[in-house]
Amino acid sequence: MPLGKATNETPMISEEGIKKFQELYKKHFGEEISTEKAHQSAAKLLRLIQIIYKPMTAEEFEKVMRFQDEIRKEFPSNNEG
Protein backbone atom coordinates (compact mmCIF):
# COMPACT_ATOMS: atom_id res chain seq x y z
CA MET A 1 0.00 0.00 0.00
CA PRO A 2 1.50 3.32 -0.95
CA LEU A 3 2.13 5.41 2.15
CA GLY A 4 2.76 9.09 2.74
CA LYS A 5 3.80 11.09 5.77
CA ALA A 6 1.30 11.66 8.52
CA THR A 7 1.19 13.24 11.92
CA ASN A 8 1.11 11.37 15.24
CA GLU A 9 2.68 8.32 13.57
CA THR A 10 -0.60 7.42 11.85
CA PRO A 11 0.20 6.17 8.35
CA MET A 12 -1.37 8.00 5.43
CA ILE A 13 -2.73 5.55 2.89
CA SER A 14 -3.44 6.44 -0.73
CA GLU A 15 -6.88 6.05 -2.28
CA GLU A 16 -5.43 3.23 -4.38
CA GLY A 17 -4.17 1.56 -1.19
CA ILE A 18 -7.58 1.82 0.44
CA LYS A 19 -9.28 0.25 -2.58
CA LYS A 20 -6.75 -2.59 -2.56
CA PHE A 21 -7.32 -3.09 1.18
CA GLN A 22 -11.09 -3.26 0.56
CA GLU A 23 -10.55 -5.88 -2.17
CA LEU A 24 -8.32 -7.98 0.08
CA TYR A 25 -10.71 -7.65 3.01
CA LYS A 26 -13.64 -8.82 0.88
CA LYS A 27 -11.61 -11.72 -0.53
CA HIS A 28 -10.48 -12.83 2.92
CA PHE A 29 -13.58 -12.14 5.04
CA GLY A 30 -16.32 -12.28 2.40
CA GLU A 31 -17.82 -8.87 3.20
CA GLU A 32 -17.49 -5.38 1.82
CA ILE A 33 -16.38 -2.55 4.11
CA SER A 34 -16.77 1.19 3.76
CA THR A 35 -13.91 3.44 2.75
CA GLU A 36 -13.86 4.85 6.28
CA LYS A 37 -13.64 1.42 7.91
CA ALA A 38 -11.02 0.32 5.36
CA HIS A 39 -8.91 3.37 6.16
CA GLN A 40 -9.21 2.82 9.91
CA SER A 41 -8.44 -0.89 9.68
CA ALA A 42 -5.54 -0.48 7.27
CA ALA A 43 -4.04 2.31 9.38
CA LYS A 44 -4.28 0.13 12.50
CA LEU A 45 -2.68 -2.80 10.71
CA LEU A 46 0.15 -0.68 9.34
CA ARG A 47 0.74 0.93 12.73
CA LEU A 48 0.94 -2.50 14.33
CA ILE A 49 3.50 -3.58 11.74
CA GLN A 50 5.52 -0.41 12.37
CA ILE A 51 5.53 -1.17 16.09
CA ILE A 52 6.48 -4.83 15.93
CA TYR A 53 8.76 -4.94 12.89
CA LYS A 54 12.35 -3.96 13.42
CA PRO A 55 15.11 -5.16 11.11
CA MET A 56 17.80 -7.12 12.90
CA THR A 57 21.34 -5.74 12.95
CA ALA A 58 24.28 -7.97 12.05
CA GLU A 59 25.30 -7.90 15.71
CA GLU A 60 21.84 -9.02 16.84
CA PHE A 61 21.85 -11.78 14.22
CA GLU A 62 25.21 -13.07 15.43
CA LYS A 63 23.91 -13.07 19.02
CA VAL A 64 20.88 -15.13 17.99
CA MET A 65 23.08 -17.58 16.06
CA ARG A 66 25.42 -18.02 19.05
CA PHE A 67 22.42 -18.62 21.30
CA GLN A 68 21.03 -21.23 18.90
CA ASP A 69 24.42 -22.98 18.81
CA GLU A 70 24.45 -23.10 22.62
CA ILE A 71 20.94 -24.55 22.67
CA ARG A 72 21.85 -27.19 20.07
CA LYS A 73 24.90 -28.23 22.11
CA GLU A 74 22.85 -28.41 25.31
CA PHE A 75 19.92 -30.26 23.71
CA PRO A 76 21.11 -32.16 20.64
CA SER A 77 18.35 -33.53 18.45
CA ASN A 78 18.20 -37.10 17.18
CA ASN A 79 18.53 -35.81 13.61
CA GLU A 80 22.05 -34.45 14.10
CA GLY A 81 24.97 -36.72 13.31
- CA distances to 2, 15, 66 from 31, rounded to whole Å, are 23, 19, 47
Question: Is 13 exposed, middle or buried, given 0-12, 13-18 or 19+ CB atoms closer than 10 A?
Answer: buried
pLDDT at 5 over 70: no
**Per residue in 23-72, pLDDT tens?**
999 999 999 999 999 999 999 999 999 889 888 899 999 999 999 999 99
pTM exceeds 0.95, yes or no: no
Task: Tell me what pLDDT residue 12 has.
Answer: 86
Does residue 49 or residue 78 have the better pLDDT? Answer: 49
